[in-house]
Chains A and B, each alone.
Chain A
Amino acid sequence: MTPLTPPRPPSAECRTILADGRVATITATRRPRANRAEVKCVVPGAPQLSETMQNVVRLARLTETRFDSRDQVVLSMDLMPAAADRNWELAAVLADRAVRSAWLPDSTPVVALGWSDRWHFGHISGSVNAATLAAAAIAAGAISAADNLLLGGDAAAEQTLDAEYLDHLGALTGHADPASAVSSARAWFPLHSGGINDALAWVEVSVSPLDAPATDEEETIAAPGLDLTAQLAVRQVLAAARHFDGKGLGRWKTVVRFAQQRFQGDSYQLALVMADRLARGREFIPRGRLIATGSSTAWHAGRVEPVEGRQPKTELILKQAAPGDRVLLPAAWQDELGADYKPALRAKGATLACVERIGLI
């Protein structure tokens, strides 16, 4: 049996930027609950704020499935925000998740800005000045541009900032928001750029119902920000994969976004197709992220073909895998992976499948 949780750190930190530009740190620590409350918040000299923070964290916990009452999480904040400032809320929620390993940050330190009136639904709102605050803090040197910057709300028009935008907590693992009228899901694929800059990048597919049947499936698919060749490739892949699905054509408007706009190759295709199936509610859903690499010349038949760079990509996936993740690789790699690759992934809680074609079994 794969482990359900990774080892839990004794403490976790998450930073946020206050309205006046100072950088506050929210620290979460864990201890046996004994007979205490399950969440405790400490902000020196501000009992009202502590209580608000406790409520925020408790409400955000309602969206988790795995409830563990054995631990007490103590959250503390080193600075005192202004009364109307609520951008620290996301940082408190993420620190609470990180210390219980309910969420594993890709890199630290984490800087998060976001607030919500609906934490119990997992919704995160953003404010327009969050990006401004973050840019100012980077310019002033208070935080580094390489920090893991998470902003609440949806991606704003300006993409100048290298930040991740979250509009609900499920987006941390790429799941669709059940309460939204737009179903959007993410899948990750390894980007190989020569060793140190290798990273997992995501592709997000958002679908919404089509008002009137379209004449051409490719016209309903948009990939803003990509150059024309890449846009055309994305459209052709999705249209062909939906043709294979049988029930996918003529029902959806689609927007595709990538974590990074500039990349080469077509190894993102399997991730794109799987994200599309997840968003359209026609695929079983992994507990964690879906990590896939593979391409095809015949998506209308659902076939998956190998791509280049097997060695660095599989190593990167193994390094980044977290419990609950699902890894999909081309079937042609099966024999070259080595006997210990699959057990190594299982030991990290992820499952591996080498697929010849997409779809059930």
Chain B
Amino acid sequence: MELFKRMRKRGGGSSPASSSAVPAAADSGRLGGEVIALRLESGAAVPAECTAVLISQPSGQTRRIGAFGTPRLSLGEGEVAWCFHPGPYVFAVAPFPAASEAGLRVEFLIDAGDPRVQQQRFDLFLASEWCGAAGPLTVAGFGAGVQLAVQNALAEGLLDLPPCTSVEEWHAFRGGLNELLYTRFGVTVQDCYPIDLHPATDLAATLAATLATYRARPDAPSDAAPPTVTRRNAAPTAAAQPAAAPSAAAGIVPSAVAPAGASTPTAATATGAAAIVPVEGGDGEAAAGSASRSAPAAGSARGHAPFAGHPAAQPAPQFAPVSESAPAPQSSPAKAATSAAADAFALRRLFLELPPATTALRMITPPASAFATQQELLQRLSLAALDVNTMPSLAWKTPGQPLPEAAQGARAAAAEQATTALNTIWSLLAKLKQAPEADIGQLFDEADRLIANLEFALFARRSTGADNETMPAELQGGAISRERREPTLGNQ
């Protein structure tokens, strides 16, 4: 019976599929070059050399269909299909936001699936981070996510790439990078070497643009109450003249509090991160896209912003800083829609990725002394997953009582903060996989910190904005929950 239904569905759906196949054909020509993955309609044929991943949207379960024999897709209820080309692909990342001219050229491919695991990591990445996006997964967009992950891992000390890198340090970094990209994104690094990003990203031009942006601000020379010492024009040389720009130019916009539509050039120059330059096969889209990628909120055109967040602005605040560089306030329905989309995206990621992260942690073999710690971390991760699964909806305080908009924004920010912790947990798992036994204790302490941050953010996601809320004892990490409470017979 099911078979007939499918046949009928395919027959009925043939005309819209063929009409939508026109833009897809333009994109599918770029598959393997600039485009990594592409969404397919029901009834479409899987392109040659590609693999289709069928994602069940409610549950996030995935299955793969190869291109052998050019099968046509028949999608079930609530399923979407993406096909990806194995590559190889090439892009460049700037590993440090402040060193925008020092780059790494990374060449990667999407390997054939590991038959021992239930779900390939790349499939999980597609399902949780790219499934709801409207456009194809481009190399440039993927590279932006990789750049954030690498920058964050370097800032946290999980990867090490110091100046004047020696050969051993470079090999250690390469090993860590390979494992990080496999654990976090499911791609296999083929080659990676340092390159000079200079003609593409020019720090001098970036600084000049920062200065111009600052001078163009309506409130540029701020006469604050205590007179500020002007920057560096005190130095008695002609060389220092344009240096008189006060440091007040817009800085790193804390991503979680920057509303959508933040002035893109400001954010891009300020983070100094407009540095993704595809080495081959890129064109104008990538160059234009670099600005919008470093301004996380600009991704709102897609409905949600994958890879939102800047590593330097990591912990999302539960309060909105009063920032002069904040753009003009938006109409409130648009803001509410943005925070609702961001919140839903973050919670979906947590829902899908926390169980696999727990599994990955369970696969680590701890030294005998750290066994109890690992068990406790696993338990807390499972509790965090349970916490996510029972998370209250964004818009309601209690049934019948809507939550004020400011509190909703705070909740959405907390959900994004939780995904930041999740991203770092993946980086830490990559480090744990390669760590010698002596280091596992210290890394478990890092895991303890990250899970505590996750719990902290999830608790803030539940909060209704009232003052006297406290975390229930069983949800909080740290010393108190670790004290084992003996069962008692008495009734105190």
- Judging by beta carbons under 8 Å apart, are A156 and B251 in contact? no
Across the two chains, which residue of chain A brings its CB closest to B440?
A1
Across the two chains, which residue of chain B brings its CB closest to A3?
B442
| CB neighbours of A178 from chain B (8 A) | 97-98, 251-252, 270-272, 312
- Judging by beta carbons under 8 Å apart, are B477 and A70 in contact? yes
Across the two chains, which residue of chain B brings its CB closest to A156?
B229
- Judging by beta carbons under 8 Å apart, are A247 and B198 in contact? yes
Could you mark each residue 236-267 of chain B with 1 if its beta carbon is under 8 Å from any beta carbon of chain A, else 0?
A: 11111111010111111010000000000000
**A325 CB to closest chain B CB, in angstroms?**
9
B95 in the interface, Cβ–Cβ < 8 Å?
A: yes
A306 in the interface, Cβ–Cβ < 8 Å?
A: no
Within 8 A of B (CB), among A52-109: 55, 58-59, 61-70, 84, 86
**A291 CB to closest chain B CB, in angstroms?**
11
Surface stretch bound by A, among B166-174, B178-186, B359-367, B401-409: B166-174
Q: How far is the CA of A163 from the CA of B165 in the complex (A)?
A: 34
B164 in the interface, Cβ–Cβ < 8 Å?
A: yes
- Judging by beta carbons under 8 Å apart, are B102 and A282 in contact? yes
**A37 CB to closest chain B CB, in angstroms?**
10
B79 in the interface, Cβ–Cβ < 8 Å?
A: no
Surface stretch bound by A, among B11-19, B346-354, B446-454: B446-454
- Judging by beta carbons under 8 Å apart, are A67 and B314 in contact? yes
- Known A-B contacts A65-B156, A120-B321, A125-B226; the reply to A222 vs B100 at CB < 8 A is no
**Residue among B157, B453, B480 with the highest chain A CB neighbour number at 10 A:** B157
| CB neighbours of A274 from chain B (8 A) | 163-164
- Known A-B contacts A1-B442, A68-B449; the reply to A251 vs B204 at CB < 8 A is yes
Could you mark each residue 207-245 of chain B with 1 if its beta carbon is under 8 Å from any beta carbon of chain A, else 0?
A: 110110010000000001111111110111111111101
Q: How far is the CA of A111 from the CA of B125 in the complex (A)?
A: 49
Say which residue of B165, B232, B270 sits within 8 Å of A182 (CB atoms): B232
We find that the number of chain B residues with CB closer than 8 angstroms to chain A is: 93
A360 in the interface, Cβ–Cβ < 8 Å?
A: yes
- Judging by beta carbons under 8 Å apart, are A33 and B478 in contact? yes
| CB neighbours of A156 from chain B (8 A) | 229, 234
| CB neighbours of B238 from chain A (8 A) | 222
B187 in the interface, Cβ–Cβ < 8 Å?
A: no
| CB neighbours of A69 from chain B (8 A) | 449, 452-453, 455-456
| CB neighbours of B323 from chain A (8 A) | 118, 120
Across the two chains, which residue of chain A brings its CB closest to B212?
A181
| CB neighbours of B99 from chain A (8 A) | 278, 281-285
- Judging by beta carbons under 8 Å apart, are B314 and A65 in contact? yes
**Residue among B162, B204, B228 with the highest chain A CB neighbour number at 10 A:** B162
Say which residue of B234, B446, B452, B470 sits within 8 Å of A4 (CB atoms): B446
**Residue among B225, B252, B435, B479 with the highest chain A CB neighbour number at 10 A:** B252
- Judging by beta carbons under 8 Å apart, are A355 and B164 in contact? yes
A280 in the interface, Cβ–Cβ < 8 Å?
A: yes
Say which residue of A128, A181, A284, A353 sits within 8 Å of B166 (CB atoms): A353
| CB neighbours of A251 from chain B (8 A) | 204
Q: How far is the CA of A240 from the CA of B235 in the complex (A)?
A: 24
Interface of B, helix, strand, loop or mixed by DSSP = loop
- Known A-B contacts A66-B156, A68-B452, A324-B157; the reply to A281 vs B100 at CB < 8 A is yes
| CB neighbours of A153 from chain B (8 A) | 228-229
B87 in the interface, Cβ–Cβ < 8 Å?
A: no
Q: How far is the CA of A222 from the CA of B225 in the complex (A)?
A: 33
Could you mark each residue 144-160 of chain B with 1 if its beta carbon is under 8 Å from any beta carbon of chain A, else 0?
A: 00000000101111001
| CB neighbours of B102 from chain A (8 A) | 281-284
Within 8 A of B (CB), among A190-224: 206, 208-211, 220-222, 224
Q: How far is the CA of A324 from the CA of B312 in the complex (A)?
A: 16
- Judging by beta carbons under 8 Å apart, are B251 and A179 in contact? yes
A242 in the interface, Cβ–Cβ < 8 Å?
A: no
A32 in the interface, Cβ–Cβ < 8 Å?
A: yes
Surface stretch bound by B, among A142-150, A252-260, A309-317: A252-260
Size category of the binding interface on chain A: 35 or more
Could you mark each residue 172-195 of chain A with 1 if its beta carbon is under 8 Å from any beta carbon of chain B, else 0?
A: 000111111111000000000000
Q: How far is the CA of A178 from the CA of B207 in the complex (A)?
A: 9
- Known A-B contacts A69-B456, A209-B205; the reply to A328 vs B312 at CB < 8 A is no
- Judging by beta carbons under 8 Å apart, are B242 and A211 in contact? yes
- Judging by beta carbons under 8 Å apart, are B229 and A65 in contact? no
B324 in the interface, Cβ–Cβ < 8 Å?
A: yes
**B244 CB to closest chain A CB, in angstroms?**
9
Q: How far is the CA of A222 from the CA of B311 in the complex (A)?
A: 34
| CB neighbours of B314 from chain A (8 A) | 62, 64-65, 67
Q: How far is the CA of A253 from the CA of B233 in the complex (A)?
A: 13
Q: How far is the CA of A157 from the CA of B129 in the complex (A)?
A: 53
| CB neighbours of A33 from chain B (8 A) | 476, 478
Across the two chains, which residue of chain B brings its CB closest to A61?
B315
B29 in the interface, Cβ–Cβ < 8 Å?
A: no
A228 in the interface, Cβ–Cβ < 8 Å?
A: no
- Known A-B contacts A222-B237, A253-B240, A285-B96; the reply to A183 vs B166 at CB < 8 A is no
| CB neighbours of B232 from chain A (8 A) | 154-155, 182, 206, 255
A121 in the interface, Cβ–Cβ < 8 Å?
A: yes
Name the 3 nearest CB pairs between A and B, nearest first.
A121-B251, A179-B251, A181-B211
Could you pull out 18 A-B pairs where Cβ atoms are within 8 angstroms?
Answer: A62-B317, A65-B152, A167-B247, A176-B98, A180-B245, A180-B249, A181-B249, A183-B203, A208-B240, A209-B208, A210-B204, A222-B239, A253-B242, A281-B102, A284-B96, A353-B164, A355-B164, A361-B166
* Additional A-B contact list (16), CB under 8 Å, known A35-B476, A255-B243, A281-B102: A2-B160, A33-B478, A63-B252, A68-B449, A86-B226, A183-B207, A208-B207, A220-B239, A222-B235, A222-B238, A224-B237, A251-B204, A255-B239, A280-B101, A282-B99, A353-B165
